[in-house]
Chains A and B, each alone.
Chain A
């Protein structure tokens, strides 16, 4: 045993080192997955908040919803469908002048002349998805936009040059941007902060600005977007961006060789039913549904066909350390990769978009050196020594204790602490109460539960008033959010009062309320967020005052969300990421069709009560199992509504009704982004665009190399360099 015990101990210490080294603080999803899963490097804790499982369910739900609508239309509008079919077939000779992908001899169309056989065969197998038409066949009356009315969001004072030092917590296991192991922190430098899509969303307005497309137009039915590509668009290897590269994107993304089921699905034919080429610089892409943000949805990234030619089983191996040429400013060359230590990205000298609007004052550093620092606390120490230029300070202990405002580096003007109020829809952190699970089917009990949750204390003590309380089910949608509704406050009296209405009126020996049958008031709180354990422990301790016992069930994420998806929870603490949209969604989380399998009003008795023995519908976003006839009816009216005024009004009423139903205890939102940076890094006057989630995101900063040497020199001599305030708050986009 002694021998064994020694072995165990040395093994243990090894393990501790191993594990503490491996914590991947920066693991994040690529920009392309932002609808599904977005995360912020700024606050480590909020990373991977939105579980993929959930997101997929959501996606599936969209599919189902679409199918249901189609089925409804088919049954209700038989005649109109028949009519339109008739009309179509009558004019087919004129309207559908699609050219063949190959001619009679099997020779490819000139636009596809360079394609390999395999690629060509893939297109030919899906003739309805890949088509080539003549330029004259484009619908008339398209309104072309080019984003020229939008304002630039970078500063004209920006200077090019310098090296920007950042860190990653682990060396990337590959330089591919797709496939196994590709989803690491480093990919952001290749894709999110770098590569260009057809059109880019403007971070200061609801509009778009040109990317690889110089102009774009949306079809009348709102499903197809036409793009005119920029003549100059080039990859980093000097080859031009071709129209057929947008065909190739789908060949690439749907290929099984890339071993990326998520991408296979995301770029699936059900989402992108058709891509059309008109000439070398004109294309159109059709989305499956007329979404208001369809431009953004179809704005894909081209895959350089000349680089890959075609894919085979060797793909993963072949491109493991051989990054594809990029359309963006920074390029990772194999010779700049120091395996296990660092990767240096170089700014292309003659980048094609260098002098274009929206790009000319961004991407300023000549080099980005991304070094591996395995331990987060060690990275912070390196930052304090000047080896890393910027560091996210969202965590309270970093902001207040590790680098307080009176830290010598700050008071001497070497370092700045910045709080930037941004405007991005907050993830919906909340306790969601399963209203069908006893004893929570009692509304009084639910209201009592609301009053027993001491979020005020959490905001004050754990988040130190940095976060603010979320108030409604739909915060952050501008006018569409309810202006006056407030979350129920913590109040022992009110909680006890409502609990006693629900039958729990006596205190047991341990202070927990009991009802007439002697049942204790015990509820189970499920979550997958281990980092928020502190918060939940506070809730648990405080709820005891109101006579409520909370049992915490903190599981690993996948397991937690699966349990919640099966609707087996009593209360779940979770958050959904809201995408930037004009108005909130209510159907997914609050319509009874997402609570039970029985459709529509079949669930209700004539008096509006739920029928017994309904079948629960698993894997939907209706985690509160809300099924209220009036809410259903209003949601049914809300969804097809087109007038913004009515939408606003209905959204307010829905928020009130859900508040009255008391199934959602809103938690908190973080209205800013915080970081520390050395003062040789300069930012525009407003610091950044309002939709900045991440300080690296839009690359509007620049480096003053002269100042860098001055600051370093001053540090050595121990004198201060600046009388400017180095703790700065940017409140331009503050909303409350």
Chain B
């Protein structure tokens, strides 16, 4: 798609205009900075150390196989507890050291180390639990970050798949018109009347539980896409209709271009701009849907970190652990606000009124 943008001067002007809308543009940069951060989350929020210096040798445990405790002279063969190792090295003071990430916990780990902690520890800087812990003593910030990563990847997958289906259906109906259009549109209308959430809930609840987490997440994605692509089709269809009657399409036809070439080469670049204005809102919808589904217990399989699950815990323990709700709602509001700012900016930048020329 990138080459189309480059080729089309109007699109280039739109992008330029988007960049000049500061609020949206910085939101965009910030969101993608956060997303990039979450992709590299293991470097910032992890129970594994970044660097370990042990008897003249440097270890980088972050990625790759786990390093057993015996490697560092500990008495167990399972994965090293680097936080303990750090305290041990500090006490021994023999020149060995451990560099821990900013938040030294991972999202699955239950930090039952301290004798008193039994879940719901309040935020504490000394422990490295900056947003406190949840019911089973897992770090809220770690779960937020990894939950954000999953939600974002999920939303992008959702966006791409829905638009792919909507584009194909819309283009076919719009370009061929006539009976294809009438029949296709009726089918889409019927499909659109199937209640989205009920279907998702029903299908998710009958989903075989022994599927792996990956399978479950992707089937959840597919189910959600299957019942929500229809809305976009109408816009694509009308956009294609509009573009189809333009002179350049007629001339392409005269030259003898095949329907496929016309659709891909001429129509798509012009239709895509419609999609782009909707994209941020679709992302926002996807994030809130997945959160809501998780909240209801029909979303991602446990113990996958997820915002909905955090919200649910937070709401039912509002009095005793307000930090869960505060940080989760904060994160949700921030993300959705950023996405909305981007959306508004994109819409303004792509507003056809600014660029339409009358013949």
* Number of chain A residues close to chain B: CB under 8 A: 46
* B residues in contact with A541, CB < 8 Å: 108-110
- Residue of A5, A19, A397 near B284 (CB, 8 A) is A5
* Number of chain B residues close to chain A: CB under 8 A: 47
How would residues 48 to 84 of chain B score, 1 for a CB under 8 Å from any chain A CB and 0 otherwise? Answer: 0000000000000000111010000000111100000
Complex Cα spacing A8 to B78, Å: 47
- Residue of A8, A507, A510, A552 near B197 (CB, 8 A) is A8
What's the nearest-Cβ distance from chain A to residue B303, in Å?
Answer: 5
Complex Cα spacing A545 to B77, Å: 8
- Residue of B109, B205, B209, B303 near A553 (CB, 8 A) is B209
Complex Cα spacing A533 to B309, Å: 12
Docked-complex contact B320 and A462, CB < 8 angstroms = no
Q: With an 8 A cutoff between CB atoms, is A137 at the interface?
A: no
- A residues 1-37 near B (Cβ < 8 Å) are 1-5, 8-9, 11-12, 15-16, 19
* A residues in contact with B281, CB < 8 Å: 1-2, 5
- Residue of B68, B120, B196 near A8 (CB, 8 A) is B196
* A residues in contact with B302, CB < 8 Å: 533, 537, 552, 554
Q: Which stretch of B93-101, B139-147, B177-185, B288-296 is in the interface?
A: B288-296
Docked-complex contact B320 and A401, CB < 8 angstroms = yes
* B residues in contact with A462, CB < 8 Å: 118-119, 136
* B residues in contact with A534, CB < 8 Å: 135-136
What's the nearest-Cβ distance from chain A to residue B163, in Å?
Answer: 9
Q: With an 8 A cutoff between CB atoms, is A139 at the interface?
A: no
Complex Cα spacing A396 to B292, Å: 27
Closest to B232 in A: A1
Q: With an 8 A cutoff between CB atoms, is B235 at the interface?
A: yes
- A residues 483-526 near B (Cβ < 8 Å) are 492, 496, 507, 509-511, 524
* B residues in contact with A552, CB < 8 Å: 302
Q: With an 8 A cutoff between CB atoms, is B264 at the interface?
A: no
* A residues in contact with B292, CB < 8 Å: 12, 15-16
Q: With an 8 A cutoff between CB atoms, is B238 at the interface?
A: no
Q: With an 8 A cutoff between CB atoms, is B278 at the interface?
A: yes
Complex Cα spacing A9 to B289, Å: 8
* B residues in contact with A537, CB < 8 Å: 108, 110, 136, 302-303
* A residues in contact with B117, CB < 8 Å: 461
Q: With an 8 A cutoff between CB atoms, is A682 at the interface?
A: no
Closest to A560 in B: B209
Given A1-B282, A5-B282, A554-B302, also A547-B77 (CB < 8 A): yes
* B residues in contact with A559, CB < 8 Å: 209
How would residues 113 to 150 of chain B score, 1 for a CB under 8 Å from any chain A CB and 0 otherwise? Answer: 00001111000000000000001110000000000000
* A residues in contact with B248, CB < 8 Å: none
Complex Cα spacing A19 to B205, Å: 15
Q: With an 8 A cutoff between CB atoms, is A75 at the interface?
A: no
- Residue of A401, A492, A554 near B78 (CB, 8 A) is A492
Q: With an 8 A cutoff between CB atoms, is B219 at the interface?
A: no
Given A15-B296, A554-B302, also A9-B76 (CB < 8 A): no
Q: With an 8 A cutoff between CB atoms, is A239 at the interface?
A: no
Q: With an 8 A cutoff between CB atoms, is A68 at the interface?
A: no
* B residues in contact with A547, CB < 8 Å: 77-78
* A residues in contact with B197, CB < 8 Å: 8, 11-12, 15
Complex Cα spacing A571 to B65, Å: 28
* A residues in contact with B120, CB < 8 Å: 397, 401
Q: With an 8 A cutoff between CB atoms, is A198 at the interface?
A: no
Q: With an 8 A cutoff between CB atoms, is B319 at the interface?
A: yes
Q: With an 8 A cutoff between CB atoms, is B231 at the interface?
A: yes
How would residues 278 to 314 of chain B score, 1 for a CB under 8 Å from any chain A CB and 0 otherwise? Answer: 1001101100110010011100001100000000000
Docked-complex contact B288 and A12, CB < 8 angstroms = yes
- Residue of A461, A509, A524, A533 near B210 (CB, 8 A) is A524
Complex Cα spacing A402 to B321, Å: 10
- A residues 452-480 near B (Cβ < 8 Å) are 457, 461-462, 464
- A residues 356-396 near B (Cβ < 8 Å) are 377, 396
How would residues 26 to 56 of chain A score, 1 for a CB under 8 Å from any chain B CB and 0 otherwise? Answer: 0000000000000000000000000000000
Docked-complex contact A1 and B235, CB < 8 angstroms = yes
Docked-complex contact A461 and B112, CB < 8 angstroms = yes
Complex Cα spacing A624 to B56, Å: 52
Given A1-B232, A553-B210, also A461-B78 (CB < 8 A): no
Q: With an 8 A cutoff between CB atoms, is B228 at the interface?
A: yes
Docked-complex contact B295 and A16, CB < 8 angstroms = yes
Quick one: which of A5, A402, A509, A545 has the most chain B CB within 10 A? A5
What's the nearest-Cβ distance from chain A to residue B34, in Å?
Answer: 22
* B residues in contact with A109, CB < 8 Å: none
Complex Cα spacing A509 to B79, Å: 10
Quick one: which of A2, A544, A545 has the most chain B CB within 10 A? A2
Docked-complex contact B316 and A461, CB < 8 angstroms = no
Q: With an 8 A cutoff between CB atoms, is B11 at the interface?
A: no
- Residue of B79, B137, B319 near A402 (CB, 8 A) is B319
Docked-complex contact A12 and B210, CB < 8 angstroms = no
Docked-complex contact B77 and A16, CB < 8 angstroms = no
Complex Cα spacing A11 to B281, Å: 17
Complex Cα spacing A464 to B135, Å: 13
Q: With an 8 A cutoff between CB atoms, is A715 at the interface?
A: no
Docked-complex contact A377 and B316, CB < 8 angstroms = yes
Docked-complex contact B77 and A507, CB < 8 angstroms = yes
* B residues in contact with A8, CB < 8 Å: 196-197, 228, 285, 289
Q: With an 8 A cutoff between CB atoms, is B317 at the interface?
A: yes
- B residues 205-244 near A (Cβ < 8 Å) are 205, 209-210, 228, 230-232, 235
Residues of chain A whose beta carbon lies under 8 Å from any beta carbon of chain B: 1-5, 8-9, 11-12, 15-16, 19, 377, 396-397, 401-402, 457, 461-462, 464, 492, 496, 507, 509-511, 524, 530, 533-534, 537-538, 541, 544-547, 551-556, 559-560
Q: A5-B285, A524-B210, A534-B136 are in contact. List 12 more A-B contacts (CB 8 A).
A: A1-B232, A5-B282, A9-B288, A397-B120, A461-B112, A462-B119, A492-B76, A496-B77, A507-B77, A511-B68, A537-B108, A538-B110
